[in-house]
Amino acid sequence: MVSGKYNRDEKLSTVKLAVVQYGILVMMLALAAGLWHLQVLNVSNFRQLAQQNRIRQVPILAPRGKLFDRYGRLVVDNYPSVSCFLVREQSHNVQADLPLIARGLNLDQDQLRATLHRYRSEPGYRPIPIKQDVTPDEQAFIAAHRNELPELETIAVERRLYPPNGFASHLIGYVGEVSENDLNNPRFAYYQPGDVVGKAGVEETYDELLRGQDGSRDVIVDSHGREVGYFGTQHATPGRDLKLTVDIDIQRAAELALGDREGAIVAMDPRTGEILAMVSHPSFDPNAFAVRINRTEWDKLITDPQHPLMNKAIQAQLAPGSTFKILMSVAGLQEGIAQNLHVFCNGGADFYGHYFHCDRHHGAEDINTAIPDSCDTFFYTLADKLGIDRISQYAKEFGLGEKTGIDLPEEEPGLMPSAEWVLRTYHHKWYAGETISVGIGQGAIEVTPIQLARYIAGVASDGHLVRPHVVFQDQLPAGFRQALLESFPGSGNAYVPIDQQTWITITNAMAQITEPGPFHTASSAHLDGIDLAGKTGTAQVISNATLSHMAKTEQTRPNVWFVGVVPRRNPELVVAVLWMHGDFSYYAARIASRVVAAYVDKQRRLAHNLTPAQAQVPVEVGAVWSAPGASGGGVGEGSGIRGGHFFVTPGAGAGQKIVAQSHPAAQPSRQLKHAPTGPGQLGAVLTALPWKKP
Amino acid sequence: MSQTRHILSFRDFDWTLLLLVLMLCLISLAEVSSTTVHTRFASFETKQMLWIAAGLAGMFLFAKIDYHKLLNWAPWAYGVGLLALAAVLSPLGHKALGGRRWIKLGPVLFQPSEYVKLALILVVARYFANLGARSLTWKEIFKAFALVGIPMLLVIKQPDLGTTLTYTPILVAGLFLGGINLRQSLILLTVGAVLVGGVWSSGKFLKPYQKARLTSFINPQNDPRGAGYQVLQSEIAVGSGGIWGKGAEKGTQTQGYFLPVPYTDFIFAAFCEEHGFVGAILALLLYFFILMRLIQNAQTAADLPGSLLIMGIVAVLTFQIAVNVGMVIGFMPVTGIPLPLMSYGGSSVLFTFLALGAAMNVRMRRFVN
């Protein structure tokens, strides 16, 4: 019935069918073009995406190179620790999990959010470090929440272990997580967010060698993050160990000698420029920085008026005071003026209508007595005769007001004024009166302790100046050594010819300083049987005129210096001491004499084939982890080294604490809580004094 | 008429078309096997093979029955279909995967929306054939709209956006071939655009996830964890296949479960990943030949209802291929439309084979009346 209804001649128009056919053809071509675009043109891009999809890199962190002292004793070690990472792609809603994570890992929720925010542009498979030093409790939390929080992962890492109490902290520096600002810096081009980098001291300068190369274990995962296979391992290359030029014994003697005074000590071998000790107080605990220091502790550090983070040995730019007179003497003798200069000191002298004070009435002075007496009147006269141009010329040759080129970051240049400098900076001519102040190391002149050590050692070494350094250079790859020299420009190694007579006159006069004598400025620092020569310096921080009508406080006291060499000519040790607001320069000399004594004592014992005492075994090493709240050695409560004790007396409170610690190297700061303090440890205290017969 | 039936022979059956179809079925079986072999769905290819066998049987059965008879039954089939769709929405319906789309008939789950597709093709073909090859009046156009619109409303309630959309090409093809003129189509397009805009912005008819799925293909990177995830993973699968593919069972996207449902909706992505551009073009060519062959059959059909019937099938198949492959390569939104003859799934296989059976039917009777 149906078939009859339809007319066989009634057909679909072939035009319409052709339209449909062409439509299908166009569609097919479009799909083929789409496939071509994806599979042929962009194949490498999508292959990479597919790889990223399924390959997850579990980082293998390279252990950082250790630091040893010049005798191969461990200074900075690593210790195994557990870190917690968060892998965003393993959870569907990380943000919702954050409160639980923060609670379980004892983290601040906002800080956690901020951490994640910093990594927002990283791919989702990249693990984000959220917590270091995970405690057993927190590890249990992570294990118990495997299903609820699949994004959490733990990994064993090696963390930095610095000596406690800020021992050599400025020289060593510290490590921290690379900051977002650093990442934009070309120097940090190779780093990724979350990497740990050296941020100060040797850790920063030698970061490239110390850090090694992180490896990774590449595992194949499915879309649920389950490990379904293993792709390969890129092994980590451990960082290179470095040998410091520092001698732990001298460093410890210097730390103890400076105590809790604000200042710095540099001890250097003038023959090579090897730094034997470098101390800057107050110090900080570098352990607190690895990997991230908490906010309050950081604020405390940067708001402290004594600038604990500043390495005063290379960054404090201060007037050298009378230590500058050695340079004046060199200039005076070389120019043939000082030899025949005789001055009668009557407590000062008039120059250009202004009366310049001397602190004593020294009477008749010549170059041989003016140095040990530190007679200002003599050097005012000498400065007047030399003139600023010649003074600044000599100062420049001896590297004052210039970086030394030491292999530590952020060295300051100081300032050596000259006529040309005044014209450039203040646009007026040099006033001859200013020369008089410069003659005693006052006025605009600014130097750093390391500059003073280098220049006085250079004078005592007959004009041979060295580039100070804290790491033995022969252990460095040649390319790195060259790059180091270029990135730390400075006065470096130099030779300034000095007449032999000049040399002998000045060194003899410097040796007189520590000999008994009515006006000798450092006779109380005399060491029997040790040829300690040097120069004191007292640099006012406020002019006498201002000081006369203001209250005297600790801050108005002058900074005091002492730079000493042993022996007087061709010395093997130079010690520069800065005590800020120390008031009397013989204090500085006494501090220096303690370092010198420790050095000479050690050399003599070595020469007589006496072996050093063994390091004390640290007490309760295992207890490190059991007292997480303890924060001994924190910056705020001082370094644990108390002042006022020039001689370590057994049982004398804090001083004993340090000695009992024996080797300061490689103990976590928390250890301090368990350091022996009772009288039962007295024996240990005594034997821990550096040397004993075998 | 009774004499005509017994002189009918399978010599006139479209063996070429069947060969092309079976080649695609082989590709499908291989790919289903490859995508499920390491999962708990292993041996799905055996089930698929049974469905294909059932489909072939149904196809031959359908080919035997004169399509005029089929067209006569169409209104009944249509009515039963509407009832079934209503039943799905009632408590009789079986709920799974976030939608109420199935009716449980003994051990098998039956998806009425697929069956309705076939009934709709028949009823629309019959409707326009009865109107003859002349211009349509507005009343006739609205009737056609109602015919297709009612089942669409029922299916979108399930909710099954994909199947709903597959009903539209039946209507479009019917109107286009049935005689709509240019003016009418322009007016309809304008009204349609306004309506779509209204539906989209009103927020009443589409659930937010449906909207997200419809738009995320444009910029899948914006939401790689959510709606864009499937598109992105699919593009990665296709793109990383390259020219020659990674080899059977070697697709990392497929085997690592990054690709969603690689044996049904995204089977073409899995195929592209494992067999590359070459394999993909081969499959597209097979589809192209099948469609061209069907259109040729429509041209040679004995009368208008035969042509309209085949063109209805062509419209549905073309639409599904375009939308599915387009989705896989990121041209189209994710709508959950299976790829005919390749995606795993009994209802889809059965529909395709029955539809092809109807088309064979028309071809076998091209000289007969």
Q: In terms of domains, do A295 and A205 share one?
A: no
Q: Is residue A46 part of a domain?
A: no
Flag whether A356 is in a domain: yes
Range of the domain at B312: 2-364
A612 part of a folded domain: no
Are A435 and A384 spatial neighbours (Cβ–Cβ below 8 Å)?
Answer: yes
Query: Which residue type, as a one-letter code, is found at position B334?
Result: V
Q: In this predicted model, which residue has the larger pLDDT, B6 or B285?
A: B285
User: Which stretch of A121-125, A231-235, A647-651, B120-124 has the lowest confidence by average pLDDT?
Assistant: A647-651
Mean pLDDT lowest for which of A164-173, A434-443, B91-100, B329-338?
B91-100
In this structure, are A451 and A498 located in the same domain?
yes
Query: Is the pLDDT score of A427 beyond 80?
Result: yes
Tell the burial category of B138 from Cβ atoms under 10 Å away from its Cβ (0-12, 13-18, 19+).
exposed
| φ, ψ (nearest 5 deg) of residue A155 | -145, 140
Please name the member of B225, B299, B329 whose beta carbon is closest to the beta carbon of A35: B329
| Under 8 Å between Cβ of B355 and B313 | yes
Q: Domain for residue A50, yes or no?
A: no
Report if residue B192 sits inside a domain.
yes
Q: CA geometry: angle at A520 spanning A517 and A523, to 5°?
A: 80
User: What tokens does A589 get?
Assistant: 């000399």
CA geometry: angle at A487 spanning A462 and A425, to 5°?
A: 75
Q: Given a cut of 50, is residue A140 above it in pLDDT?
A: yes
CA distance A151 to chain B (A): 15
Whole-number pLDDT of residue B368: 62
ipTM of this complex: 0.92
Tell me: do A62 and A25 sit in the same domain: no
Q: Which domain holds residue A18?
A: 2-41
A349-363, A402-416, B200-214, B294-308: which range is least confident on average?
B200-214
In a domain, A239, yes or no: yes
Same domain, A343 and A386: yes
Listed in sequence order, the residues at least 6 apart from A546 whose beta carbon sits closer than 8 Å to its beta carbon are none
Task: Tell me the CATH number at A316.
Answer: 3.40.710.10
Chain-chain contact of A39 with B276 (C-beta, under 8 angstroms): yes
pLDDT of B260 higher than 50: yes
Q: Do A43 and B242 touch (CB under 8 A)?
A: yes
Distance CA A684, CA A645 (A): 19
Q: Which of A607, A637, A665 is the last residue of a domain?
A: A607
Same domain, A217 and A276: no
Q: Is residue B356 part of a domain?
A: yes
Cβ-proximal residues to A38 (8 Å cutoff; 6+ apart), any chain:
A46, B235, B238, B239, B329, B330
CB atoms within 10 A of CB A41: 10
Q: Which of A607, A634, A658 is the last residue of a domain?
A: A607
Alpha carbons A600 and A566: distance in angstroms, whole number: 9
B290 domain residue, yes or no: yes
pLDDT in tens, A479-513: 889 988 888 988 889 999 999 999 999 999 999 98
Q: Is residue A408 part of a domain?
A: yes
Q: Is A75 exposed, middle or buried (0-12, 13-18, 19+ CB in 10 A)?
A: buried
Q: Is the pLDDT of residue B209 over 80?
A: no
Predicted confidence (pLDDT) per residue in A187-226, tens digit: 666 677 667 888 889 999 999 899 888 888 877 777 666 6
A285 in the same domain as A197: no
Q: How far apart are CA B366 and CA B355, in angstroms?
A: 17
Backbone angles phi, psi at A524, to 5 degrees: -75, -10
Residue B262 has pLDDT above 60, yes or no: yes
Check A38 against B238: CB less than 8 A apart. yes
Tell me how far the alpha carbon of residue A266 is from its chain's centroid.
Answer: 14
Q: List B residues 331-360 in contact with A (Cβ-Cβ < 8 A).
A: 331
Same domain (yes/no): A464, A499: yes
B220: in domain: yes
CB-CB contact of B51 with B346 (8 Å): yes
Q: Are residues A548 and A666 in the same domain?
A: no
Is the pLDDT higher at B354 or at A644? B354
Candidates A306, A252, A314; CA nearest to A283 is A306
Cβ neighbours for B72, distance < 8 A, ≥ 6 positions apart:
A1, A2, B126
Q: How many domains does chain A have?
A: 4
Q: How far apart are CA B118 and CA B346, in angstroms?
A: 15
For residue A298, the distance in angstroms to the closest alpha carbon of chain B comes to 38
Same domain assignment for residues A430 and A468:
yes
pLDDT exceeds cutoff 70 at A689: no
Query: Could you tell me if residue B41 is inside a domain?
Result: yes
CA dist B140 and B142 (Å) reads 5
Residue B369 within a domain: no
* Per-residue confidence band for A110, with pLDDT thresholds at 50, 70 and 90: confident
Distance CA A510, CA A531 (A): 10
Domain count within chain B: 1
Binary contact (B256, A221; C-beta < 8 A): yes
| pLDDT averaged over every residue in chain B | 86
Average pLDDT score over residue span A446-468? 94
Average pLDDT of chain A to the nearest whole number: 81
Same domain, A639 and A490: no
Nearest residue to A565 (alpha-carbon basis) of A597, A595, A532: A532
Is the domain of A465 the same as that of A326? Answer: yes
Nearest neighbour of B284 by CB, restricted to A14, A28, A54:
A28
Residue B220 Cα, gap to closest chain A Cα (Å): 14
What is the residue type of A281?
Answer: H
Q: CA-CA distances (angstroms) from residue A132 to A90, A292, A347?
A: 20, 9, 63
Task: Examine the domain organization and report whether A237 and A252 are in the same domain.
Answer: no
Residues B333-340: what's their mean pLDDT? 87
Residue A259 domain-assigned? yes
Cα of B307 to nearest chain A Cα, Å: 7
Which residue is listed with tokens 């250890």? A671
pLDDT tens digits along A366-411: 999 999 999 999 999 999 999 999 999 999 999 999 999 999 998 9
